[in-house]
Amino acid sequence: MGKAHEIEYKIYGDDMQFVEIELDPAESVIAEAGALMFMEPGIQMETIFGDGSGQGENRGLTGKLFGAGKRLLTGESLFMTLFTNSGAGKAHASFAAPYPGKIIPVDLTAYNGKVICQKDAFLCAAKGVAIGIEFNKRLGTGFFGGEGFIMQKLEGDGLAFLHAGGTIVEKELRPGETLRVDTGCLVGMTGSVCYDIQFVGGIKTAFFGGEGLFFATVSGPGKVWLQSLPFSRLADRIIASAPRLGGAQKGEGSILGGLGNLLDGDR
């Protein structure tokens, strides 16, 4: 793995943030498709297979397809976008968060070159950062992990930027210290953290608790990033509150709203 490009950045905003990347001549940044907000003249945009880390360049098309295929397993696109400063001076490109939350800058050199994150948390990174997949070898995680099963793995010595919803909490776990987390609220962790997916336990809790059937267990040493509002939870609430086709919901905001629908024959 080659050395990642050394980029500088500045994060703007509060709840709907974007990150501005400063590129010297010939420097590049990779980003998920659709993340670009704006870029200055002199920056060239190119669609590439995989993550642009250079690991598959010596293997031709087969190596590039292998790198891109790893992204398919995480539910992401085969392609990423490479932004390169082809001018003679500094130039800037900005990338926006897709929904309300925070952008988390991660210097991989501070975490032994590896960070594991949720499959949709990655926003952009310096060229040279490798983006792969991280499998948990435990059978329970594989079959029942839900959001926590297949995670992305960021490796290298450069800067990467994650996005998470709501308020972000950083937890520094001591050796042997354990935390149980809703699978959707786990944004990322350093490579030294051990994690597993466990059944909630108890029939009534599992089916009527409203918290899902599984949670993630993370154990130190290492750092864990948590989010207060996973996008899946936000989307579920929006769908549940959306007016149905054919008319607006009656009694919205009223205790009698649901009863009124029953009396009307709507449910």
Question: Looking up tokens 């293997």, which residue turns up?
Answer: 59
Confidence of residue 254 (pLDDT cuts 50, 70, 90): very low
Residue 119 is given by DSSP the state: T
What is the pLDDT, as a whole number, of residue 209?
47
Q: Are 83 and 93 in contact (CB under 8 A)?
A: yes
What is the pLDDT, as a whole number, of residue 71?
52
Other Cβ atoms less than 10 A from the Cβ of 141: the count is 20
What is the pLDDT, as a whole number, of residue 151?
83
Structure tokens at 220: 């130190």
CA dist., res. 159 & res. 30, Å (int): 11
Q: Is the peptide bond before 221 cis (omega within 30 degrees of 0)?
A: yes
Average pLDDT, the chain: 78
CA dist., res. 64 & res. 28, Å (int): 18
Among the listed residues 147, 140, 135, 138, the one whose alpha carbon sits nearest the alpha carbon of residue 233: 147
Q: Are 136 and 44 in contact (CB under 8 A)?
A: no
What is the pLDDT, as a whole number, of residue 56?
47
The CATH superfamily label for domain 6-239 reads Mitochondrial biogenesis AIM24 (3.60.160.10)
What is the pLDDT, as a whole number, of residue 38?
95
Report the pLDDT averaged over residues 196-206: 62
Confidence of residue 3 (pLDDT cuts 50, 70, 90): confident
What is the pLDDT, as a whole number, of residue 163?
93
- Taking the whole predicted model, whether its pTM rises above 0.85 is answered as no
Position 92 pLDDT exceeds 60: yes
What is the pLDDT, as a whole number, of residue 259?
44
What pairing do the DSSP bridges indicate for beta strands 101-107 and 159-165?
Answer: antiparallel
